[in-house]
Amino acid sequence: MERLVNGLLEDYEAGKLSRRQLVRMLAMGVAAGPSALAATQKKLSVKSSIPPAEGPAPWKTVWLDHISYAVSDYRRSTAFYRDLMGWEILTDDGQKQCSMKIGNIGGIIIRNGAARASAGAEPAQLNRAPITGVINHISWGIEPWDTEKVKVELEKRGRDPRPDMVGERFKSFHVRDPDGWDLQISNQTDTSQL
């Protein structure tokens, strides 16, 4: 056990573990025993294919300022996210866009412009490099979570939920929003399962 704890401390001091990960793993070692701790440490020590960091960032991200969706009908999309996800309308210009509050994690601007966005015609982005990747989906954690109740509610709203469950701890459904985006709704409310 002492060797495992020393290894964790070395990983922490080398920047391979965050303070939160260190404390979580030490608590796991006390609660579940050395074999569980060793298995978790082994999982974390697998070599990554990601290039090494150029250096630590001089800041830490603490807030999602906003996401911007370019949609075909901002009123329809705003109503969809308000009604399904419980997002709060902050401002609506009555013509082309609405700003919404996403719980206590940040905000979103939903604006007309799906045709312009797909053509890359936003004025501030005319000289940008070609788009070579897309956002595959966004997963939003909700609470309270009851798998069957969430499924029934999505079906009641005509959403055709597709289950995406991983083990006993990760539960989610995928649905399409009014513009065809893959919206994942999950039981995750923090980063512990990433």
- For the chain, how are helix, strand and coil distributed in percent, rounded to 5? 35, 25, 40
Within 10 A of 131 (CB to CB), how many other CB atoms are there? 9
Domain boundaries, the chain: 2-44, 61-124, 135-189
- Contact (Cβ atoms closer than 8 angstroms) between residue 153 and residue 173: no
Fold annotation for 61-124? 2,3-Dihydroxybiphenyl 1,2-Dioxygenase; domain 1 (3.10.180)
Nearest to 142 by CA among 113, 104, 100: 104
What is the pLDDT at residue 137?
87
**Contacts of residue 148, Cβ cutoff 8 Å, sequence gap at least 6:** none
Calculate the average pLDDT of the chain: 82
Q: Percentage of residues in the chain with pLDDT exceeding 90? A: 42
Question: What is the CATH code for 135-189?
Answer: 3.30.720.110
Tell how strand 88-92 and strand 97-102 pair up. Answer: antiparallel
pLDDT digits (tens, 9 = 90+) for 11-56: 777 777 777 777 777 777 766 666 666 666 666 556 778 888 777 7
What is the pLDDT at residue 81?
96
pLDDT digits (tens, 9 = 90+) for 91-130: 999 999 999 999 989 899 999 986 654 554 455 566 777 7
